[in-house]
Structure 1
């Protein structure tokens, strides 16, 4: 529902009285409105954009009043105050009338552009009016602009149905013209713009304006699209609806005569909008509530006069209105209440019928029930006496609905998720996608929708399976397994139903999706459903069983018919045919996609290993210092190995070995320091690559491990993966394993690995046997 925000001081001025917040709340409630919020311009902006933006804004009280969506006459302070004053019986409803000028201003609709015919499907209708001798204050000007914006957003549906332009009539010359024109031929200075632009450049400017950009699709912003124009007799552009007015004819506080034009795709809404705008602001004319009409000449030569400002009369029976509301009023009392709602009424002599005059501001009154509603508002809903119904009725759910609700709850309790799909779908969903013949399916059961809006809503569904498969396809990224069920109606053609020719049938369907087919899961689901219903498994007339069956939807040899009591086939279960899965776009992570990811990661590992060894060669291996230190290490390691093989138990020999080990340790330290300086660059490169690839594969299962890792390793192997299947392998784990293995083998193949003599001098692992004899000195890496 729309909300109008008006400063309290302005409201008090138009109401000619000062009311407290409580009194305003009561008055609005009595009229069927609601005082939604008391705030200020500063507080509103501060809430939305922060205190810095709102620092210099006004702190005057603003009343935000919620209005009915069809009461366009209340969208401005003029209309709201006028309606409330009439409701309080402080003023009489005004009489809106058209003046009779000596020569009526014309607006001619052209059926051509400079490039061809008028695209009538874009914006074919135009209406107009003139307000003469107006006196505009700053408050009235602000209200006038605000009302136009609210009408654009509400009845105009963001200018798509109706858009309006208001102009200073003294700055332009009639007769006026409405036509479409090529963008290259449209040149003018738009409202509040500093330079003259052609339409193409102007539309490019609007593309960057968040407020105007939303209106571009109404006509189209492509250079090939002609645009509608309102021009005066001299060819001066007045407006380019529905986008912008010209700065040439803009309204100011000094404007005396206002020309109003509205273009539309809906003529009725255009006339309602024009009536509303004229009625609300004609009070500022020298002769209040008078409007000068305008002749609109259509391309076929027909002439229409706008605005209409027509009054119409409706008759209502007092007895019917009393019955609808639950009150007992006389005809005179009811007529008095209606006059408070701006509906002048009188009793038709000798009857209990009222003649109600509907003014041009009350386009919301369409039927007798609308008049009854106004009677109820004026009478006061709180004054209507509460009565108990004469008939004793107790509501209860239908047995079928109660049964299915209980079934839903129990199926959810065993871990299945309920889906809710559209009752309408495409023909392909019910036929070709599930491998059924369209002709056979729809000749027997199908209910086809006439003139469907989209291909997705061509027919009423005859099964629930297609909808569940579409749901699975939309949730492929969810962790497996997926267990879905649906209990809803399908629509089947039924010629015996003479009234509608169809019937609803309540059905249950379930699907299970995992890396394995899960026939046993669906079988267990069926057993639980039958257990809840109370039908045992067996082969007698009161039980159910399954038997082999054939259906194109299911894989050959993997389909079973569900046979119920008295050998009635209740349904089918089985493994879906691969063509059905392909038609609905259902692919599993264990299929081609996962293997492709795994191969891709191995290739990435090979690439990064080659890159790493290449950088290491450039920065380390090819340097003379490294080669010297490495050769020195190998020489000392071999010398130490020979000395240990020939060593005796003498103390001198042991000291020599210790000295050799110290020298080897010092050389190893120098070699490590040399490699460390160069490896920093390699580390930064690998960190960046790892972060990039990890973002790509984050949360994706890239491989299946042939074992379940210990809990210590699961933090890395199952990193950021959903579900509890710890054989799922993450990118980071597979990448590290592959890269380490490939780099070690590359180093051995290229000769960059430590020599055997060096390896034999390294510290044994935790599972190596304890050192014996002289091996107790082999602690160096």
Structure 2
């Protein structure tokens, strides 16, 4: 886009500006493709234009080894927990001026904001090689042990002090969280122990680059090795033109690699495939000339084949389609003539999709309702709720999930259908749902490490299990697929065990050939666990009341204190009714004395009951530990709070709640609970607070 500073301001403000205020010279705004990192600086952009206009040949980038040993970076094991990868290179005899130096710094900033993802993936460090000496050591040290003079500072700081210093820096504070919570911080030392940089935060002042710098040591630390290679290639290829021998780069050796540079691989493409993709009819030599203009070295191998060498500046070339795109760009898509095809054709449906659509229609016609759920789910959905501890090992995990509901790709359709049932419990029964969609499974033989697999699942929800209903659904689907029920050449079911489903009510669906292709079962009822816990809580409450009866209720002292308590309570209630609203001070004093005596009696009775509380507490703790181990790893209740793992406390919560409720009602039924009058009088005493403290054992 051709414009000017004056025109831009006029467009933004909507008013004319005088020529004296703003420059009227031409300015070009250029949109750069997101994958062309070599065009992010003036050097790369001007070079690409010159090659495109045939004003210069595609540069031949050369890796030149020095006469002596290579510069080396030794990587220690401590870096694995923070930034495990590092690559490096050296530019010799560089001549910078003010403009090229500014462009050198600007390219690093642009790379940090783009491919480096604000230094989280890659951090670039550039150093004056004449001020430091190799071999270099890349390690991770404790923050208190890292001490150096950071860039543009005059005194030493520890890493902890630097975190405080840069917490208010508008440019660097956004990078601090990358390593702030790490136990160790990454750091690069030279052979003399001088700190070159503390990636991804700041470089050292000692190796600062200036306009007088001649030899530049470039290092890039990363959590993604491929991104680090792309970044390093971009920097060295763009600014190697300022070397005494242009486009010559000296490699740096890393301990775990022979060479930190990426090899240039030749790629073979067929001209007919390119013509088919872009709609042109070009010969091999024309394509070779066009690709040369796009900074790709292309040579005609045969009449129908091109041999293309991809330079390190073009990491965006991944496939033959990228080559075809460059041919189209160089030739000009505007030259493409639109014309109707010679024959009208209708695209044929993918066989699997066609079969899926036919099945959906037939199953829906049989009275089943289709559900459409998300392909992502939580880790608990496929592991805890399905009682499958190994499911997480087989699932494809999302590296940066935004919510807890979308953590992994589903490996089964059952969790989604169960969620649909849970959300529609207010609907009239029965509910018959099915889903015919893809699941995602790990596959080491796939290019992406995973594959999609089309599956069909159905659930029947009613007051009874309805095993025969789902069996009928299976028979209908198999009949539609022309598979007969038979052990020889057909399908059949056989008993199996699956932790997801109810024991004794689970069967495998065996296809022709003896391969199990599915499961027919009744889901494991969480209600049975709840009923079992309630029964355990009832036994615990009975045991607690039995201990209390043996230690407290049957003793003469407790009976005497209780009778005395009830007598004094009734007497006090009667006096309060007689006095009413009277203002007689003597009467009020007598009431206060009676209340004090009542509190003393209540205190004696509470202290007497205390010995049973300790015994019940020990018994309760023992029972809790025993039964909790039985229900370990099983979700038995929906908690009123969200924890890290629902298995941690769902049994404990339900067990304690049931025990408390049953015990309180059991005391009332057996006559051990205090009368209402006694409870009213206890409201102002200290005993209720104490009893509330031992509420689980009351």
For the superposition of Structure 1 and Structure 2, which TM-score range results when normalised by the shorter chain?
Answer: 0.5 to 0.7
The 3 A distance-change label for structure 1 pair 345 and 195 is same
Is the Cα contact below 8 Å between 2:79 and 2:139 reproduced in 1? no
Give the gaps of 5 or more residues in structure 1.
Answer: 1-18, 23-36, 48-55, 112-116, 406-417, 474-479, 494-499, 511-518, 520-575, 582-781
> Superposition pairs for residues 316-395 of structure 1, below 5 Å?
316-348=269-301, 351-389=303-341, 390-393=343-346
- Structure 1 CA distance for aligned equivalents of residues 345 and 89 of structure 2: 58
The 3 A distance-change label for structure 1 pair 330 and 189 is same
- Structure 1 CA distance for aligned equivalents of residues 409 and 259 of structure 2: 43
Partner of 1:269: 227
Partner of 2:131: 171
Partner of 2:210: 252
Deviation at 1:245, TM superposition (A): 0.6
Partner of 2:107: 147
The 3 A distance-change label for structure 1 pair 319 and 468 is same
Deviation at 1:201, TM superposition (A): 1.2
1:534-587 Cα distance to aligned partner (Å, 9 max, x none):
xxxxxxxxxxxxxxxxxxxxxxxxxxxxxxxxxxxxxxxxxx999999xxxxxx
> Superposition pairs for residues 403-482 of structure 1, below 5 Å?
421-422=374-375, 424-426=377-379, 429=381, 438=387, 450-453=394-397, 457=409, 459-462=411-414, 464=416, 466-468=418-420
Is the Cα contact below 8 Å between 2:188 and 2:197 reproduced in 1? yes
Q: Is the partner of 2:213 in helix, strand or coil?
A: coil
Give the gaps of 5 or more residues in structure 2.
Answer: 15-20, 362-370, 399-406, 441-450, 464-524, 531-698
Aligned pair partner of 1:197 in 151, 157, 161: 157
Partner of 1:238: 196
Is the Cα contact below 8 Å between 1:423 and 1:490 reproduced in 2? no
- Structure 1 CA distance for aligned equivalents of residues 381 and 140 of structure 2: 44
Deviation at 1:457, TM superposition (A): 4.8
Partner of 1:161: 121
Is the Cα contact below 8 Å between 1:420 and 1:486 reproduced in 2? no
The 3 A distance-change label for structure 1 pair 431 and 201 is closer
1:37-67 Cα distance to aligned partner (Å, 9 max, x none):
99879999x99xxxxxxxx999987644332
The 3 A distance-change label for structure 1 pair 247 and 502 is closer
1:356-382 Cα distance to aligned partner (Å, 9 max, x none):
222221122222222122111111112
List structure 1 segments (4+ residues) > 6 angstroms apart after TM superposition: 37-44, 56-61, 394-405, 430-433, 446-449, 469-473, 485-488, 506-510, 576-581
Is the Cα contact below 8 Å between 1:425 and 1:461 reproduced in 2? no
Is the Cα contact below 8 Å between 1:39 and 1:63 reproduced in 2? no
Partner of 1:3: none
1:156-187 Cα distance to aligned partner (Å, 9 max, x none):
23323321101122322333332222221211
Partner of 2:57: 92
Deviation at 1:501, TM superposition (A): 11
Partner of 1:123: 83
- Structure 1 CA distance for aligned equivalents of residues 6 and 69 of structure 2: 46
- Structure 1 CA distance for aligned equivalents of residues 78 and 416 of structure 2: 48
The 3 A distance-change label for structure 1 pair 110 and 92 is closer
1:596-642 Cα distance to aligned partner (Å, 9 max, x none):
xxxxxxxxxxxxxxxxxxxxxxxxxxxxxxxxxxxxxxxxxxxxxxx
Please report the TM-score for the alignment, with normalisation by the length of structure 2.
0.53
Aligned pair partner of 1:206 in 166, 184, 189: 166
Q: Is the partner of 1:355 in helix, strand or coil?
A: strand
Is the Cα contact below 8 Å between 1:151 and 1:273 reproduced in 2? yes
Q: Is the partner of 2:227 in helix, strand or coil?
A: helix
- Structure 2 CA distance for aligned equivalents of residues 191 and 330 of structure 1: 56
Q: Is the partner of 2:30 in helix, strand or coil?
A: strand
Deviation at 1:343, TM superposition (A): 1.3
The 3 A distance-change label for structure 1 pair 175 and 84 is same
Is the Cα contact below 8 Å between 1:462 and 1:491 reproduced in 2? no
Aligned pair partner of 1:109 in 50, 67, 74: 74
- Structure 1 CA distance for aligned equivalents of residues 28 and 452 of structure 2: 55
Q: Is the partner of 1:81 in helix, strand or coil?
A: helix
- Structure 2 CA distance for aligned equivalents of residues 254 and 97 of structure 1: 24
Q: Is the partner of 1:346 in helix, strand or coil?
A: strand
Partner of 1:549: none
User: Does residue 76 of the first structure (1) align with residue 41 of the second (2)?
Assistant: yes
Q: Is the partner of 1:392 in helix, strand or coil?
A: coil
The 3 A distance-change label for structure 1 pair 94 and 249 is same
> Superposition pairs for residues 419-568 of structure 1, below 5 Å?
421-422=374-375, 424-426=377-379, 429=381, 438=387, 450-453=394-397, 457=409, 459-462=411-414, 464=416, 466-468=418-420, 489=436, 503-505=454-456
Deviation at 1:277, TM superposition (A): 0.7
User: What is the aligned length?
Assistant: 444
Is the Cα contact below 8 Å between 1:163 and 1:242 reproduced in 2? yes
Deviation at 1:78, TM superposition (A): 0.9
Deviation at 1:322, TM superposition (A): 1.6
Deviation at 1:486, TM superposition (A): 10
